[in-house]
Amino acid sequence: MDLIAAEDTRHSLKLLNHYGISKPMISYWGERERVRSEEIIRKLQAGKTVALISDAGTPGISDPGAVVVRKAIEENIRMVPVPGPSALIAALSLSGLPTEVFTFIGFLPPKKAMRQKVLRDLSLGKSTLVFYEAPHRIMETLTDMELTFTDRKAALIKEITKIHEEVLRGSISEIIGMLGKTKIAGEYVIIMEGRPESSKVAVDDALEEIASLMKKGLRRKEAVKKIATEYGLSSKELYGQSLDKIP
């Protein structure tokens, strides 16, 4: 190994010093990644070997690294993945929720309106959902989830694999109550169960979807049939509702 590309060289240096590893390092965090990725590719093309590491987790999975990987693929440069810690998989294994089929969302949009829209769209799916969230937004995000997912089962994992690891399980409202009694700090993973077979999505949400499809040119009957199927609602009843509420 000739070079280590690290998300944050100061953070990674602690680990390298612990294991007595001394190699040249460059940082590729944030905006630097686009510039530094070119430098990394040049090193690789010159026959050098580069280790790509992130602070906590897996490069490219809600962590820097994806830009470098894409450029390496474009240049037909061979890459060797080294399995390491993944908050996504570790949290799923602790959640107690179904893991046969799951959808990884990562971080939700920071703006409230967009975040709520994404959550509404996701509420239709039946697969388990996995989110990452920062401490300064965790309560706001959970509150939005409570409005959208109501009483679904969930798990909240804090600082996974670290000293202050903590797991909270229950409904979203229960988790909000428990979280309010603890110190909010560190990174969080939220695991949410998918839409139960018996759950009924609000008709108002379905009507919004129908109106959106009609604006895009779909006929009312076709839009109603599509949304009724997705939401598990009666086409006949939904069609009648649409006539009353959608011009």
Same domain, 51 and 127: no
Q: What is the pLDDT of residue 47?
A: 93
In sequence order, which ranges of 46-179 are alpha helices (DSSP H)? 66-74, 87-95, 112-122, 138-149, 172-179
Q: Report pTM.
A: 0.72
pLDDT band (50, 70, 90) for residue 32: confident
Whether 187 and 91 share a structural domain: yes
- CATH number for the domain including 55? 3.40.1010.10
> Are 95 and 180 found together in one domain?
yes
Q: Which range of residues forms the domain containing residue 144?
A: 87-192
Axis crossing angle, helix 220-231 with helix 203-215, rounded to the nearest 10: 140
Q: Are residues 225 and 186 in the same domain?
A: no
Concatenated DSSP letters for 98-127? --SSEEEEEEPPSSHHHHHHHHHHHTT--S
The arithmetic mean of pLDDT across residues 88-115, rounded, is: 93
How many structural domains compose the chain?
A: 3
User: What is the share, in percent, of the chain residues with pLDDT greater than 70?
Assistant: 97
Structure tokens at 121: 């769209």
Flag whether 104 is in a domain: yes
Q: Does one domain contain both 50 and 92?
A: no
Quick check: is 79 in a domain?
no
Task: Tell me which residue has tokens 């190699």.
Answer: 23
CATH number at residue 158: 3.30.950.10
Distance from chain centroid for Cα 226: 27
Say if residue 91 is in the same domain as residue 67. Answer: no
Report the b/e string of 177-196 with b at 16+ CB within 10 A: eebeeeeeebbbbbbbbbbe
Q: Are residues 17 and 69 both part of a single domain?
A: yes
pLDDT of residue 197: 65
CA 140/CA 6 separation, integer angstroms: 31
Q: What is the pLDDT of residue 35?
A: 86
47 and 130, same domain (yes or no): no
Tell me the two tokens of residue 239. Answer: 């069609």
| Mean pLDDT, range 71-78, rounded to an integer | 94
176 plus 223 within the same structural domain: no
In terms of domains, do 9 and 52 share one? yes
Give the rounded percent of residues in the chain with a pLDDT score beyond 90: 57
Confidence of residue 233 (pLDDT cuts 50, 70, 90): confident
CB atoms near residue 96 (< 10 Å)? 13
Matching residue, tokens 């920071």? 110
Looking at the structure, tell me whether residues 172 and 211 fall in a common domain: no
Check whether 16 has a pLDDT greater than 90: yes
Per residue in 168-179, pLDDT tens?
999 999 999 999
